[in-house]
A and B are shown apart, each in its own frame.
Chain A
């Protein structure tokens, strides 16, 4: 079945993963900028990373017939250092013209600190100034509820930001409703222990509806599964969802959101 992987950190995956995703029906993979598992020592590390996301990774994906897109930002885990964040944010505009860039992301919060919030506001400003789509990472575990509320406040207070051009990722049962209620899109991340399982993601679809919502694997260097989206599609079938309902969630919905960026084009 054809699907779009709207959130995957392919720089930390093997080429075999690209092949398996292509075999499973993946047509496009979208890669938000994130934390490398360690703090970069200077802005130069980000310059190299953004080059990797916009030059090297699309070529790796293309070997398997996959389109590769990316999002650019400084992630919240490195946002405590505001001076570094300012330098990285100043670097981003020169990459925004590259043809696989979809917008600013994954920005957001991690521990809900004042500096993280300040850097989030700076990056919302950047997105507004350059009319970019926004992809938001919400915090983990006990920090998610508070962080999601703080993030929504920042976005709602900026009247330049159109809610339909923002996706709030990693929603769970306690945050999905507040995201959809303010007109933003919601992303469900399929992680075995710390986010949604396939069964719970389908529960959320059945409870809150199939509009403005997508699923992603968010596969990275940690315990994660690059095939989580097609596996959840299989579980949807077991749960009695028909082919068009499944295609809507794993293909049409991400396509509808992402094509708000002029750079999002699928192959023929």
Chain B
């Protein structure tokens, strides 16, 4: 597909998601309290969208990943939080 066709197909949806992210950041900052590791990772991931870098989706996922390599001693919970404290 041409760039024009991709824009025709996805621009409005991406615009909507961009505004959702902007509003989410405003909402977090309006709320009292401190940042946690999730929002810190989120801000770090946002920086991966800048400029002409390629593989943005992959780099965002890597920023939100546990980059350690050794198995943990015991699984104490079943769920995932979506980010890893660094």
Contact = CB atoms under 8 A, between A and B. Distances in A.
Contacts of A156: none
Given A111-B72, A113-B73, A141 B1 contact: no
B78 A110 contact: yes
B67 interface: yes
B69 A149 contact: yes
Interface stretch (A18-26, A114-122, A158-166): A114-122
Interface string B32-74: 0000000000000000000000010110011011111101111
Given A114-B74, A173-B55, A199-B10, A143 B61 contact: no
Grouping DSSP codes into helix (H, G, I), strand (E, B) and loop, the A interface class, with mixed when no group exceeds half, is helix
Given A140-B80, A173-B55, A145 B61 contact: yes
Grouping DSSP codes into helix (H, G, I), strand (E, B) and loop, the B interface class, with mixed when no group exceeds half, is loop
Contacts of A113: 71-75
Nearest to B55: A173
B76 to A, nearest CB: 8
Contacts of A140: 79-80
Interface string A150-172: 10000000000000000000001
A242 interface: no
A142 B81 contact: yes
B71 A142 contact: no
Interface residues of B, number: 29
B65 A111 contact: no
Nearest to B58: A173
Interface string A187-223: 0000000000001100100000000000000000000
Given A142-B83, A145-B61, A80 B75 contact: yes
Contacts of B12: none
A77 interface: yes
A226 interface: no
15 contacts: A111-B77, A113-B71, A113-B73, A113-B74, A114-B73, A115-B74, A116-B75, A140-B79, A142-B83, A143-B65, A144-B61, A145-B61, A146-B68, A150-B71, A173-B58
Interface of A: 35, 77, 80, 110-117, 139-146, 149-150, 172-174, 199-200, 203, 238-240
Interface of B: 1, 5, 9-10, 55, 57-58, 61-62, 64-69, 71-84
